[in-house]
Amino acid sequence: MNEKDFLASYNASAYNTPKGLPVDICMFTITSTKKQTVRKVLPTRDIKILLIKRKGHPYKDMWALPGGFSKEEESLYEAAKRELKEETNIGDDVHIEQLKTVYYPGRDKRGWMPTVVYFALVNEKYLQNMQAADDATEAKLFTVEEALSMSLAFDHHDIIQEAYDKIKEKMLTTSIAKEFLEDEFTIAELLQVLQVVVPEFKVEKSNFIRKMVSTETRKGLLEEVRLENGDHKMSDRNSQREARLYQFSDHMPKVSIYNSTLF
């Protein structure tokens, strides 16, 4: 059956879910791949998004955001989490946040079809067993750049663009960078992750490393990880020389365009 026949035979009200809403998920991750170099260096990192290939009409065989319908007995948040889990088999330790709800006439050829969009930030370590999840649906990670250059189902291009813009903003104003990092990370890793998502964020690495811990207004944002004996905990995973490890603290500074002092 082609799409035209499908739409002609489609009974919109049969698909309407009076007690649930369509939920779509923009799942972002940052993959890291080892560089083939003589010495240890930072891995190559890329920001990626999960897409699935549609099995049915409309937009059959096109790539789209994963999603599904929420149920009456679950919250929208729970629905998003469930859908993501069905697709990726990840655990509960995921940052998932509502982006927006979309409806305007004509957004779905089938008629009335809103969608509640969530975005998720998932550490690549949770995506190891993704294939096992559901091999009936073809799911694949694309770089965000790639995804945005493709022709996608529905208005998913615009949704991804908006989700990505949101993440770029939150990357610099909250501590969500931690979702993409190990529990304990070096400042070079932090900077790399920030710049993978927000290339416009330009600072000199050596200054960044120092200022993140030395400047008074930034104190409390990161904590140095210490060993029992009080020494700095170090890692040499990215370099010959060991680097100090850090964690985000609970302290979340706020920012303002009216004076750039954090408070």
By annotation, the residues acting in catalysis are 138
Cα 121 from chain centroid (whole Å): 3
Among 60, 166, 211, 233, binds a second copy (CB under 8 A): 211
Q: Could you say which of a second copy, DNA, none residue 149 binds, taking C-beta under 5 to 8 angstroms by partner kind? A: none
Pick the stretch among 95-103, 123-131, 142-150, 234-242 that binds a second copy (CB under 8 A): 95-103
Question: CA of 110: how far to CAs of 16, 113, 204, in Å?
Answer: 10, 7, 51
Q: Could you say which of a second copy, DNA, none residue 205 binds, taking C-beta under 5 to 8 angstroms by partner kind? A: DNA
Cα 236 from chain centroid (whole Å): 27
Residue 253 Cβ vs a second copy, minimum distance, rounded to whole Å: 5
Which H or E run includes 224?
strand 222-224
* Eight-class DSSP state of 201: -
* SS3 call for 27: strand
Pick the stretch among 31-39, 110-118, 148-156, 234-242 that binds a second copy (CB under 8 A): 110-118
Residue 259 Cβ vs a second copy, minimum distance, rounded to whole Å: 6
Residue 19 Cβ vs a second copy, minimum distance, rounded to whole Å: 4
The residues with which 118 forms a beta bridge, in sequence order, are: 25, 98
19 touches a second copy by CB under 8 A: yes
- Closer CB to DNA, 93 or 216, in the complex: 216
- Closer CB to DNA, 41 or 150, in the complex: 41
x/- site string to a second copy, residues 140 to 179, per CB under 8 A? -----------------------------x--xxxx----
Say how far apart CA 2 and CA 23 lie, in whole Å: 26
- Closer CB to a second copy, 7 or 62, in the complex: 7
- Closer CB to DNA, 16 or 261, in the complex: 261
* SS3 call for 245: coil
61: left (phi over 0), alpha (psi -120 to 50) or beta: left
